Amino acid sequence: MEICGLLTEKNESAVFVLLLCDSVPLKSISVQVRVQDHVATVSSTLQYVNEEERPLEALFVFPLPADAAVCHFSAKIGEQEIVAEVQDRESARDQYDDAVSSGQQAFLLEESAESPDVFRLSVGCLSAGQNAAVTIIYITELAVQADHSLRFCLPAVLNPRYTPAGSGAGIVSEISSGCGAVPYTLTLSVHVSSPKPISKLESNCSLDPLVFLQSDHTQATVNLSPGHMFDKDFELFVFYQDTHQPSAIVEAGVTTAPPGSLMRDPVVMISLYPEFPEEVMSSLATRGEFVFVIDRSGSMGSMMHYGKGAKMRIESAKDTLLLLLKSLPMGCYFNIYGFGSYFESFFPQSVVYNQETMDQALKRVKEMKSDMGGTEILQPLKHIYIQRSHPDHPRQLLVFTDGEVGNTKEVLDLVKSHAHSHRCFSFGIGEGASAALITGMAREGSGHAQFITDTDRMQPKVMQSLRFALQPAVVNISVDWTLPDGLTVETLSPPINVLFQGQRTLIYAQLKGESSGGSEGTVTVKYSLKDQPVTNQLHFCLKPTEETGLSIHRLAARTLIRSLEQEKRSGAADVEGIRSRMVELSVQAGVSSVHTAFIAVNKDSRQTVKGPLQQRRVQTCDLSFVIAVMQANCGYAEEQSFRCSKKTLRTFTERAFLKMSNWVPERIQNFFRRGSATVLSDQTDSESKNDPSPEPQKDLLLQLVSLQKASGCWDLDAILADVFGKTEDELTNQKPAQVDGSVWATLLALIWLYGCKIEQQVEWQFVAMKAASWIGSQKVGDLSQCVCAGNVLLGCQVTKETLGI
């Protein structure tokens, strides 16, 4: 193993090192995914080979979905398979250490205490030349997307997690210890089945053709195309017909489990899609306090993706802020925070939204950079929560981050403790954002989570969440069950504290007793919306669904374990009792928890071990980390405050290029050179002069939005005309006599949006609503002639009714 790194003037090694291993024990990953309706069972087999000349211990730190229930772990050595069992964490660690020290092969799988989406697999005492195949199976719910699809994500990238100074080291802190190109291959197959017909499957990666197994399209298979480089998350989007339909799955228990236990009784999973009254949804809230929290750490200087037209994460966030600021309703309150190793806000406290404050904010947005150091999100949140709230303006918190933090649970506890005073909408930006942090903040803050990855545009997803933020808060939520005599129900999910129009809500419950008759149950959800009582009801069959493989029981157990963990961290009196209950549930259900671990020992193997085992740490990490090394040590450090001269950094760069030449694709090498040239440029680098970056193409939509006034109108000028591809004279000469310049300009903007950018309507919907409202307030006469003139000028065919005026 060779270590390349930056040296200080005292020749002390810098925090970041690049580990270039000649021998990596992980050789391949094979994944089988079985999607049943909106639950996925994932089986991953990791093939290890010890190519060294002595016994080896391999450590593999990798991501999983935050809410996954890991339910199986086994190892196959030759023809012998060893199935792991779930034990108390400390007991499992002791057993692993004893086995390895005595020369036995052992395998330990444990969840991070800091973040539930990070796991560590220890593969102990592999003898020279030996193969071991490790299989991990987990179950996870699929999240509903804005386009009604269900999203499955196989995380490939585990970004370095920023751990604040003074915090304890753990699995998360191991992530940043090294990185390299992904040295192993990935094969992946997917089988989808559902009572509803499958419309289509889409992915961010190349897939083989979809094969339907039934004529009614309720079953299908698809494979990942050969040659896939596992350098980014694999995302699959499943589209069903009539996705947004309430449903229930009843799963039979295990007859051999202890009476009264979760695994013995039937469990039901209820999927609800609340439908709000139309009169409530027709007028979104015009009041509120909107606080935008933007990650400005060094990692936000990374690219959104490595494809054509990619922007830096911070630049995409700035474009999104522009759209958000233009979409806010007049008279609301707002503020913007930037955070890194420290934080700052645009205003001492939230201010009223008007033309003056919007202009001030936009000026500061343009100046934002990813120059604030590490990712410490806890302190800005604390500062926001102690700010005085505004009566009749409920606080809406929108948090943008690449999610690379180590104190996830501390952040979630803080958000939960202030859930009564705000709603939190979180956005994970780029590959490797912590699902535990992003989804957890939204869950604990009664909001909604979004992930922006690969070539996704940030704006559509953010505007969907803004629509949720503008919805009135649902209060007084209650869930009632009606069951046949002899049956009772114990709800396993935490109380519902948030509902959004059309968004899925899951409820897990344990059915106890024996039914004396009747085969149907009913669940009724009641709540208040703008002082109006609303009732949603679902009737479901109590007959168990076949072939669910205890997936519902295990997801229910995982849900209950998470609730108990939250209760324990919240300062419950009986901490030890809660811990014992968590361990008991974990062992009975066979699912992972923070207090248990999977342990497998091959007791038939025993070899003499002299001295300590060689250790190899293998991690999932993409090449953006290498670029982050360059960025981090050049004045806007992500993980530490180390600084170096340009001469020192160039020396490191040259050495890195030499090492990279054998194992990094030329495409990435060129990107690395361009990125480092940009960082290091002192206007004397001949390569940067001879290979200028192309000018980014103008985004006409954002350009138009940037010209809108806070009130919703536009000015009639040359800049607006340029967006339409016209001159100012052309706009002025075609203006009908009965309208003034601003009304004509605003009408043209609306016609252009509906006529030329209808496919991006989700992004500009609030901009258009403000514009139409402003035109309505001007009390202009018949606008039909104006709309016709605008259509002729812009070459569109938009009706007055379409414009909403």
In a domain, 417, yes or no: yes
- Among residues 470, 486, 519, the one where a domain terminates is 470
The answer on 296 and 196 residing in a single domain is: no
The answer on 222 and 98 residing in a single domain is: yes
The answer on 293 and 154 residing in a single domain is: no
Place of tokens 């109590």: 542
In a domain, 691, yes or no: no
d(C-alpha 554, C-alpha 569), whole Å = 22
CATH number at residue 439: 3.40.50.410
In a domain, 681, yes or no: no
Closest by CA position to 405, among listed 433, 442, 430: 433
C-alpha torsion sign, points 147, 148, 154, 155: positive
Closest by CA position to 73, among listed 51, 47, 94, 43: 43
Residues 411-446 as b/e (b if ≥16 CB within 10 A, e otherwise) read bbbbbbebbeebbbbbbbbbbbbbbbbbbbbbbbbb
* pLDDT for res 23: 47
Neighbours of 239 (CB within 10 A): 16
The answer on 104 and 232 residing in a single domain is: yes
Confidence of residue 571 (pLDDT cuts 50, 70, 90): low
C-alpha torsion sign, points 567, 571, 577, 579: positive
d(C-alpha 598, C-alpha 610), whole Å = 27
- Among residues 615, 631, 663, the one where a domain terminates is 615
Highest mean pLDDT pick, 281-295, 605-619, 775-789:
775-789
The answer on 101 and 159 residing in a single domain is: yes
- 35-73 pLDDT tens trace: 988 899 999 998 888 887 778 787 877 778 777 899 999
- Total domains, the chain: 3
In a domain, 51, yes or no: yes
Question: What's the mean pLDDT in 656-676?
Answer: 38
The answer on 209 and 140 residing in a single domain is: yes
In a domain, 621, yes or no: no
* pLDDT for res 281: 62
- Among residues 454, 470, 486, the one where a domain terminates is 470
Neighbours of 221 (CB within 10 A): 15
In a domain, 421, yes or no: yes
Distances (CA, A) of 727 to 401, 730, 801: 41, 5, 28
Q: By mean pLDDT, which of 499-513, 596-610, 752-766 is the weakest?
A: 596-610
* pLDDT for res 666: 37
Residue span of the structural domain in which 115 resides: 22-163+171-237+591-615
- 491-531 pLDDT tens trace: 999 888 888 876 788 999 999 998 777 789 999 999 988 77
Confidence of residue 309 (pLDDT cuts 50, 70, 90): confident
- 214-265 pLDDT tens trace: 999 999 999 999 877 766 778 899 999 877 778 899 999 999 999 989 999 9
The answer on 456 and 387 residing in a single domain is: yes
The answer on 195 and 129 residing in a single domain is: yes
The answer on 90 and 189 residing in a single domain is: yes
CATH number at residue 225: 2.60.40
The answer on 464 and 336 residing in a single domain is: yes
SS3 content of the chain, % helix, strand, coil (to 5): 30, 30, 40
The answer on 225 and 301 residing in a single domain is: no
Q: Is the pLDDT reported for residue 339 higher than 50?
A: yes
Average pLDDT along the chain = 79
